[in-house]
Structure 1
Amino acid sequence: MRNSTFCLVPRGRRLGSFRFLEVLQAGCVPVLLANGWELPFSEVIDWTRCTVQADERLLLQVPEVVRSINASQMLQMKQQTQLIWNRYFSSVQKIVFATLEILADRVRRQAARPLAVWNSDPGALAVNLSFSDHLPHFPFYHNALGTSPRSRYTAVISVSHGGSGAIHTTPLLNSSKTSHGASLSKSPVSRSNGFSPTTGSKANVTEMSTEATRTIAYAPSLGNFQMNTELPVIMVVWTSPQTAPPDSRLPGGAIPVHVVVPPSPSPSARHAPHPLVTSDAVFSLDEDVTLTTDELDFAFTVWRTFPERLVGYPARSHHWDEAKGGWSYSSRWTNSYSLVLSGAAVYHRYYQHVYTHQAHPSLLAAVATTHNCDDLLLNLLVAAITRRPPIKLTQRKQYKDPTSEAK
């Protein structure tokens, strides 16, 4: 069946047929020969998008019906069979959860999921309506709705090892021109204590700079943020054991700076929702990361094309080690990768909600205990929802070209 495009599914002993699920699993388009068969979850799943429902009394017409489907339609139908199988039928757990969600939608008609959510990636089970009841607020439906994430974003910088006197701005970096000693106008600064989950969502972008592990000079890219006209606010997440700096020690600039001290110094604090994060995307940066303005803009531009993906610069790989009988993690530079570190990455704020409210408590506890691996958890959560890999970006040229200097 895996090598077939269409598979006949005849009437079973009890009208339905277990062959139907086998065909879906194989990625073959089911050709149903069972008049009057009510397909599973038919009140929410549009089976016409991935099945051919033939009349069992007109068997001789089936070949003609199948031949009338062009190659593009075949591909779409095969893709839809995989979506339906993977999201709702690949395990008993998913079948049970889908049944419960359908019953819940029957009870709360006004808050029921639209049919488009059930019939498109990532499926209804991966969309938490407690985040928002407005589809454009999610990263998955922009293409279908003809919308795109807005171009504004907010910088959020998290400090874990910086001293109270470590905050400073650095010369502006640009791939084509470097500006030294640029003056920044004084900015309004405020302080906020504690995190609180957001309700709803607004279409902007947030840039979050994450905790550093090696240096106390936490903001090499802060000057570049200040030069970005699309940046409404800079948020500093302070998880350092040192006391947060007074307002007088914060850098001035055209963009307001807010210091937030979370109740727990866990690395997960960088991924927690906060009222200041009112934009679509989160640009996560470690405090010691230096990116040029072009690199910041490039990362955000790529993310706007793939808002459901994790987009970033530093990459790692993980694989199953048969010899050790466990997972292995590698930071070696290879031609393949499976993870993008949150030290310089862009992702949708919806994943903040998923990370904080849907990740298993034992996973969050492990991150808090080890003070590490929050980026692994974020990558796996995003991959579990989207079934897509992260996107790695390349940075600016790190060497001098003698031929260009000679010219």
Structure 2
Amino acid sequence: MPESLYRQTFRSCRRKGMRVEHVLFAILGGLLLVSFVTITAFPSAETPSSKPAVSDIDVPLVLDLTSTSPERKFVKNTSCRFHKCFDVLRCGLREDGKLGVHIYPTSWRINGVNGSPLFAPLSKQFIQLLEAIESSGYYEENADEACLFVPAIETLNANRLDDELVSKALGRLPLWGGGKNHVLFNFLPGKHPEYETALYLESGEAIIAGAGFSTRSYRKGFDVSIPMFNVLTKVEDAGPTVEQSYQKERPLVLVVMHGNFLPDHDTILDSILEGNSLSAIRLRRCEDAAVRNNARKVCSSGHVYDYPEILVQAKFCVITRGLRMVSTTLLDAVMMGCVPVIVSDTYVLPFADVLDWKRASLFIAEQSIGEIPTIVQQIPPNVWRSMSKQAFFLYNYYMSSMHKITLTTLRIIQDRVFDHYALRYENWNLPPTVMSTADPDFIRPPPPLFIPLAPLQSTGFTALILTYDRIEILYKVIKIVSETPSLAKIVVVWNNQEKAPPPEEEWPKVGKPLVVIRTSSNKLSNRFYPYDAITTEAVLNLDDDMYMVTPDELEFGYQVWCEFPDRLVGFPGRVHVLDDDKKWKYESEWTNEVSMVLTGAAFHHKFYSHAYTYMMPADIRDWVDSHMNCEDIAMNFLISAYTHQPVVKVTPRKHFKCPNCGTSIWNNTDHFQRRNYCLNYFVEVFGYMPLKTVDFRADPVLFKDQYPTNLKRFPAVGDV
């Protein structure tokens, strides 16, 4: 679902739930904000404002270096937390929902007193960073409308910085204000010999988006920890290489990455590799002068390897802290699907506030570094595979380019500002569904972020009834459904192009809105089209002969769906099994196990109608419509693929359809043969079997207890 539509849905829910005190608070807040703006915009003559006008940005800045003091101690507000050092009042929600980010003009000049430029030209990586912002929805050209500011003063590499000079330049920025609402990007912090773990500047209250934070220098919830990006070792389009490596066993169990290790770690790593039969190598910089300075070559025991390509041969890569807290080796490892073994007690990993690195890496205490061989050998192959794929996912989605690193950083800051629109854990950490993915072990996400954990029950459900020309039984079904307390609307999909639906006066008079939609072609997929008439989150799909279901059963089914809004919740259950020929077979026997519920009587979220129509593989939709069968199996496949969860069957009843309601397409003798074919064909299209078998059924409380009927909330629930 598009983010803007999610936002719209959220606002609507909030408006419905807004109480009087909320409105009064909003009005009071607005008055205070107007007063604040008025005071800021029109300072008194006695207290002249020291805040420069925005137009001053284009004026060249001249710095006098005669007062430079190399002994100066730079100040960073170490107590900053987000709402303490960030002014959220200037961050109005724009129409597109993104916070505005303004970049100081790159043409703005910082000169010395003699008129010469004080800073070297911007690096390619910093230019890419600025371009990523300018081309994104975050960019705000008007500084007065911006929430966040990015100085066009490069701070990526501490080795290239004159700390005193950069601090002076930042302090003279027209909108600096002690760094409030500014963000500084840094890949390489600290210089010899201290190697600080954070940018060493007069940064004040500016957010530091930096690599190499320790838990001591990182202001949690304020700064953003980013990866150390190195264009020299980046492999373009590493995905196919990594994916191909899963087709066979990786020959190396362990690779110890090169770097400036601490002496104690260096000695221990050498000893455990020498005294262990584990298939492992230790990479070092090559001694050969011909390749010594080549970042794409490393050596081990006299062998020269291509780097980082050698890492795709290894299952685990040891990453330890050295003189610096971090190096590029972490990014190199995850780029090649090598699971990092992180030996650092205080390192703050990239985007640690939102990414769950425990799903993609191992953490070893520094005092336990000697236990690495034992630990990695205890990891089962399927667990390693899942961790490897997760590691590559994190790299590919958030860290594989300057563009992705920049926009991920801004999204994290935006989620802090507008926390009610923030992405959830699963949105950050679970890969998006790829319908053709053939790997059943690959973790799939829950449904889209807009599906609430507990939908508002007051909104009710829309009953969508697919019909052709069985008028009498259709009217009976409508009357039964209309007696369900949570029903909001009935939508009848008239699937007969040869015969017009009955006139309005002949339809049953029910106390809920009833809409009739006449389709242009007779397709089973019409039951899953996302009609505009569907205004509720919950959709009850019904066949026009679902005559034996009761209002109590429908109401109970809806209440269960409210507990599982991401699932397919229904009444008639079915199961898939493997036959002796290793072919999937559709089974309708009365067993306790279910893997499907038929959509002739089932609740689902309205999103799945959209997904079926626009995201389902076209081969499956075409087969369903041409053979007039298996649309319910297709929907079960779709929802199980999205959720990686089983369906939910409600109530014990197994007979629902009217036994004497005329001809049905399900009465064909080859019906079950076709459904067997459906199962196997859909598996072929999807690339795997997404259905999950479960021995579970939801029944009402007191359903089988011997209590008076008037004490039961859902008394009319059938036994069979």
TM-score, L = length of structure 2: 0.36
Distance 1:310 1:271 in 2: 13
Change (3 A) 1:318 1:291: same
What is aligned with 1:89?
389
User: Offset at 1:353?
Assistant: 1.6
Residue of structure 2 in register with 1:53 after alignment: 363
- Aligned-residue offset at 1:42: 7.1
1:33 aligns with 2:334: no
Displacement of 1:249: 1.7
| 1:287-326 Cα distance to aligned partner (Å, 9 max, x none) | 1113111101111111111111111110111123342x53
Counterpart of 1:153, as a letter, is G
Residue equivalent to 1:389 = 646
Aligned partner (choices 446, 451, 455) of residue 138 of structure 1: 451
CA 1:237–1:320 in structure 2 vs 1: closer, same or farther (change >3 Å)? same
DSSP 3-state at the match of 1:317: strand
Say if 1:235 and 1:260, in contact at 8 Å, map to a contact too.
Answer: yes
- Note the alpha carbon deviations across 1:303-360, whole angstroms, 9 max, x for none: 111111111110111123342x532112222232211100111111121121111101
Matched-pair contact (CA < 8 Å) for 2:475–2:508: no
The 5 Å alignment of 1:181-192 reads none
Deviations 1:205-243 (A, max 9, x none): xxxxxxxxxxxx224332233233432221111113432
Distance 1:157 1:257, change over 3 A: same
| Residue 233 (str. 1) matches residue 489 (str. 2) | yes
The aligned counterpart of 1:160 is: 467
> What is the one-letter code of the residue matched to 1:375?
D
Instruction: Provide the residue aligned with 1:338 in structure 2.
Output: 595
* TM-superposed deviation, 1:154: 3.6
Cα distance change, pair 315–254 in 1 and its aligned pair in 2 (3 A): same
Any idea what SS the aligned residue of 2:594 has?
Answer: coil
Q: Which whole-Å CA distance do the structure 2 matches of 1:51 and 1:278 have between them? A: 44
DSSP 3-state at the match of 2:487 = coil
Q: Residue 220 of structure 1: SS of its match in structure 2?
A: helix
In the superposition, relative to structure 1, how do residues 96 and 11 fare at CA in structure 2: closer, same or farther (>3 Å)? Answer: closer
CA–CA distance in 2 between the matches of 1:322 and 1:40? 50
- Is the contact made by 2:557 and 2:650 (CA closer than 8 Å) also made in structure 1? yes
Q: Retained in 1: the 8 A contact 2:577–2:585?
A: yes
Q: In the alignment, what sits opposite 2:213? A: none
Structure 1 pair 369–229 and aligned structure 2 pair: CA distance change class (3 A)? same
Contact 1:137 1:280 (C-alpha < 8 Å) held by counterparts? no
Q: Write the distance in 2 (CA, Å) between the matches of 1:371 and 1:100.
A: 46
CA contact (8 A) 1:219 1:288 kept: no
Would the aligned equivalents of 2:361 and 2:391 in 1 still touch at CA under 8 Å?
Answer: no
What per-residue deviation string (whole Å, max 9, x for no partner) do you get for residues 192-217 of structure 1? xxxxxxxxxxxxxxxxxxxxxxxxx2
Q: Distance in 2 between matches of 1:97 and 1:219?
A: 54
CA contact (8 A) 1:45 1:119 kept: yes
| Conserved? CA contact 1:156–1:235, under 8 Å | yes
Q: Distance in 1 between matches of 2:489 and 2:384?
A: 39
Structure 2 partner of 1:255: 512
**In structure 2, distance between residues paired with 1:84 and 1:282:** 38
Residue 320 of structure 1: which of 563, 570, 578 is its match? 578
Higher Cα Rg, which structure: 2
Q: CA separation in 1, counterparts of 2:427 and 2:618?
A: 27
Query: SS state of the match for residue 233, structure 1?
Result: strand
Alpha-carbon distance between aligned partners in 1 of 2:483 and 2:588, rounded to the nearest angstrom: 32
| CA offsets 1:125-146 (integer angstroms, 9 cap, x no match) | 1499xxxxx977315xx2xxxx
Instruction: Please say if residues 159 and 240 of structure 1, whose CA atoms lie closer than 8 Å, have aligned partners that are also in contact.
Output: no
Is residue 2:406 matched to residue 1:150? no
Amino acid at match of 1:224: I
CA change 1:115–1:344 in 2 (3 A) is: closer
Aligned counterpart in structure 1 of residue 432 of structure 2, from 114, 125, 139: 125
Using the TM superposition, give the Cα deviation of residue 394 of structure 1 relative to its aligned residue in structure 2, in angstroms.
2.2
The residue number in structure 1 matching 2:423 is 114
Contact 1:313 1:344 in 2 (8 A): yes
* 1:308 counterpart residue number: 566
- Give unpaired runs (5+ residues) of structure 1: 1-7, 67-77, 129-133, 168-216
Shift of 1:82: 7.0
Q: CA deviation at 1:379?
A: 0.4
2:476 counterpart of 1:220 = yes
Matched with 2:243 is: none
Q: Distance in 1 between matches of 2:477 and 2:460?
A: 15
Amino acid paired to 1:45: L
The answer to whether the 8 Å contact 2:569/2:603 transfers is yes
**2:549 is equivalent to residue 291 of structure 1:** yes
Matches of 2:478 and 2:618, distance apart in 1: 33
Q: Cα–Cα, structure 1 residues 100 and 39, in superposed 2: closer, same or farther, change >3 Å?
A: closer
Moved more, 312-321 or 148-157: 148-157
- Structure 2 residue aligned with 1:376: 633
Find the aligned partners of 2:521 and 2:384 in 1 and give their Cα distance.
39
* Kept after mapping to 1: 8 A contact 2:466/2:527: no
Could you tell me the TM-score, scaled by structure 1's length? 0.61
CA separation of 1:266 and 1:117: change in aligned 2, threshold 3 A: same
1:10–1:32: 8 Å Cα contact kept in structure 2? Answer: no
Higher relative contact order (CA 8 A, sep 6+): 1
Q: Identify if the C-alpha distance between structure 1 residues 150 and 136 changes in structure 2 by more than 3 Å, giving closer, same or farther.
A: farther
Q: State the alpha-carbon separation in 2 of the partners of residues 161 and 297 from structure 1.
A: 26
What is the number of equivalent residue pairs in this alignment?
305
Native 8 Å contact 1:308 1:347 kept in 2: yes
- Using the alignment, how far apart are the partners of 2:474 and 2:355 within structure 1? 49
- In the other structure, the counterpart of 1:183 is none
Distance 1:368 1:388, change over 3 A: same
Q: 1:321 to 1:97 in 2, by over 3 A?
A: farther
CA distance in 1, matches of 2:490, 2:536: 12
Residue ranges of structure 2 left out of the alignment (5+ in a row)? 1-252, 258-282, 284-306, 318-333, 416-421, 436-446, 656-703, 708-720
SS of residue matched to 2:575: strand
Residues 99/107 of structure 1: CA separation in 2 closer, same or farther (3 Å cut): closer
Moved more, 226-235 or 386-395: 226-235
Take 2:616 and 2:654, find their aligned partners in 1: how far apart are those partners?
Answer: 38
SS of the residue 2:512 aligns to: coil
